[in-house]
Structure formats: structure tokens, C-alpha cells
Amino acid sequence: MDSGHNSGFSQLFGQPSALVVPRDSDSNDSQKKLKIGVVLSGGQAPGGYNVISGIFDYLQERAKGSVLYGFRGGPAGIMKGKYVEITPEYIYPYRNQGGFDMICSGRDKIETPEQFQQVADTAAKLDLDGLLVIGGDDSNTNACLLAENFRGKNLKTQVIGCPKTIDGDLKCKEVPISFGFDTACKVTATKRNFLSLEPLNFFVDLATSIQKGSLDWERYLRCIRHAFCTTPSPDWWKRVLLVVPCHRSQTQAPTPGVVFSSEMICEGTIERFVELLKLTYSSKTFTNLIFYKYVEEV
């Protein structure tokens, strides 16, 4: 990566990657009592409470005597010092539940020097060892900026970003998919099982009426891409039936599932095919391959 890409993160750029691996025994349990803060940032996504529950359970089991603080109302809660201590009684009703109302979320951004200082003051007041930001691409960018700021001030608080989004647009080599996206796809498909109550042609018309390039079009394509990339179980395919009108008998009984237009299927398939080619060939070979095929057809 050239220097232009790391100019804004001189403190963080080039740090080694850390991998979480299982260990053989519990002999290395931390004897240090930790103080961790957690904040929900941005829109809601399934699994937010599971992340908080996982952190809480780890601290209770592996670092006894530790404290977990939840900042209320998103990033604004950190700046304003609004927080609650997470206890077993407090977290119990929210385990494995949806929603973000346990500590609530927010879309505020930490941008100005005054705001960065407010967050630093809160971290110092609570003597935080770590701050976990659960959010999407914008929220994790903000987390990076906050970590850079803390590192520059030699603060001990380590800032960690947790990828949360239902859009499926936050992924990399280390993060194949964000939590929330898989559940969102499955729930969307399940909610559309009313197909069995209506004539098939109604839903075919509905799918084909979606304007290409629109938000709804992109949502349908994301479901298809997700299916192609993750190869779900047979049960998933049964609930998310890819119905191509030209390949389905008009006399066939309605089946619960989702109707995708044939154009959606084609676009999703071609995108996956191109993605696999890029993984197989180098970028130069891939470009030459596509160009040669184009000249051959012309």
C-alpha cells in the first residue's frame, strides 16, 4: 500500500495482525481486572446483544472482577459520559434477543478536537482498558480515527471495531462477512413465504417491476450473492427458492420462497463467475482473458 493511503493513520498503519486461536488449557486466565466500555453505533442489526453478552461472559469467566460499561445512545453517550454498568441481572432479559434498546444506538460521529477530547476524558475517568465500537463501515472508520487519536496521546485504552451491518458491505480477508447480514437475508426470505397464498404471476410481476439499479434491486442481488458465496444448507435453499419464470411450469403449485427475476439471477451469477475468475487468474491475465473473448465474439 502506498503512503497516500496511510497518511491519516500514521500511528496505526503497519501494525501486525492478531489472530484468536483456541488454547489447550485454562492456565493462562488473566489475573488482571479489566474495565471495558462498549457502544452500539449506527443502525440496528441482529446479533448486537450476542456480542455484548460474549464480552460480558468472557470477562466474568476469564478475568474475574472485571467491569463492563455500556454507553447509552451511541457515540454521544461516550462524549457526554452517559453509561451503565452491565450486570448479570441487567443483561439477562436481552440475551439472544433482537433490537438495540438495551443501551440504544446513535449515529453521532466523533469528529472535532473537542469531541475527541471528551471521549478521552470519559475513558480516563472510567480508567478503561478497552473500548469496543459495534457498528458498520462509517462507525468502524470513526473507531479507527479514535484509536489513532488515543495512540497519539499515549492513552492506555485500546479501541476495537466490531463489524455490524445488514448491508453486507463491510468485509475483508479477515472478516468474510459482518454479523447481521446472514440473519437479515434469512429473515427477509422467511417473511416472503406468503407466496403460497397468492398466484405466482403476481410475484413474478412484482420482481420484474423492480427498477434495475434501485435500492430494492441491490437488496435482491445481495441475497443472491450471499447464497452463491456461502453455499447455505439445503434448508436455506428450500426457504429461499430461486424462481426463474421461464424455467417454471405455469401449472406448478405455488411454493413458499422468494421470486427473483431472471435478470437478477443472471446478474448475480455473472458477478460470482467474474469474482471466481479474478481469484483464479492474476489481474493482468484476467483482463487479457476478457479482452480476447470480446475480440473473438466481435
DSSP reduced 3-state for 36: strand
Annotated active-site residue 167? The verdict is yes
Residues in Cβ contact with 47 at an 8 Å cutoff, skipping those fewer than 6 apart: 164, 179, 180, 183
81 Cβ partners below 8 Å, 6+ apart? 118, 121, 122, 125
- How far apart CA 38 and CA 105 sit, in angstroms, is 11
Element of type H or E holding 70: strand 67-71
Is beta strand 130-135 parallel, antiparallel or unpaired with respect to 242-243?
Answer: unpaired
Which one is catalytic: 57, 108, 138, 167? Answer: 167
Nearest residue to 135 via CA among 159, 165, 99, 101: 165
Catalytic residues: 167
